[in-house]
Amino acid sequence: MQVSHNPSAVSVSFDEPNLVSTAGLLPAMVLARDSGLHELTDQWLSVPTDKGANPGLKIASLVAGMVAGADSIDDMALLRHGAMKKVFTACYAPSTLGSFLRSFTFGHVRQLDAVASRFLVSLNRKAPLLGDVAADDYVYLDVDDTIIEVHGYQKQGSGYGYSGVRGLNALLATASTKDAVPFIAAQRLRKGAANSARGAKKFVTEALGTLTRCQPGSKVLCRFDSAYYGHGPVSAALKAGAQVSVTVRMDPAVKRAIATIPEDAWETIHYTDAILEESTGVLVSSAEVAETGFTAFTSRKKAERVPGRLVVRRIPELNPKKAAGQGTLFDSHRFHAFFTTVDHGVLDTVAADKAHRQHAVIEQVNADLKDSALAHMPSGHFGANSAWLVAAAIAYNLTRATGILAGGTFAKARSATVRRKLIQVPARIARSARKTGSPDVSVGPVISCTGA
| pLDDT tens per residue across span 198-247 | 999 999 999 999 999 999 989 999 999 999 999 999 999 999 999 999 99
Q: CA torsion 36→37→40→46, rounded to 10°?
A: -160
Contact 339, 296 (CB under 8 A): yes
Contact 333, 314 (CB under 8 A): yes
Q: Rounded CA gap, 63 and 37, in Å?
A: 10
Across residues 240-264, what is the average pLDDT? 94
Q: What rounded mean pLDDT belongs to the chain?
A: 88
Other CB atoms within 10 A of residue 152 CB = 8
Tell me whether residue 50 is exposed, middle or buried, using C-beta atoms within 10 angstroms of its C-beta: 0 to 12, 13 to 18, 19 or more: exposed
Q: Rounded CA gap, 262 and 59, in Å?
A: 58
Looking at per-residue pLDDT, the higher value among 164 and 171 belongs to: 171
Q: Rounded CA gap, 173 and 242, in Å?
A: 14
What proportion of the chain, given as a percentage, has pLDDT over 90? 71
Q: Is the CA virtual torsion 261, 262, 265, 269 positive or negative?
A: positive
Q: Which DSSP letter does residue 226 get?
A: G
Q: Where are the domains of the chain?
A: 19-107+380-428, 245-341
**H or E stretch covering 206:** helix 200-214
Tens of pLDDT, residues 3-58: 776 777 777 666 678 888 899 999 999 999 999 999 999 999 999 999 999 999 99
Q: Rounded CA gap, 15 and 278, in Å?
A: 66
Q: Side-chain half-sphere of 234: how many Cα atoms within 13 Å?
A: 25
3-state SS, residue 247? strand
Long-range contacts of 210-214 (CB under 8 A, 24+ apart): 210/117, 210/120, 210/121, 210/185, 210/186, 211/139, 211/141, 211/175, 211/185, 212/240, 212/241, 213/117, 213/121, 214/120, 214/121, 214/124, 214/129, 214/130, 214/175, 214/185
Tens of pLDDT, residues 310-354: 999 988 766 555 555 555 555 577 899 999 999 999 999 999 999
Q: Rounded CA gap, 54 and 59, in Å?
A: 9
Neighbouring residues of 196: CB distance < 8 A, sequence distance ≥ 6: 145, 162, 169, 171, 227, 228
Q: Which DSSP letter does residue 361 get?
A: G
- Among left, alpha and beta (phi > 0; psi -120 to 50; other), residue 445 is beta
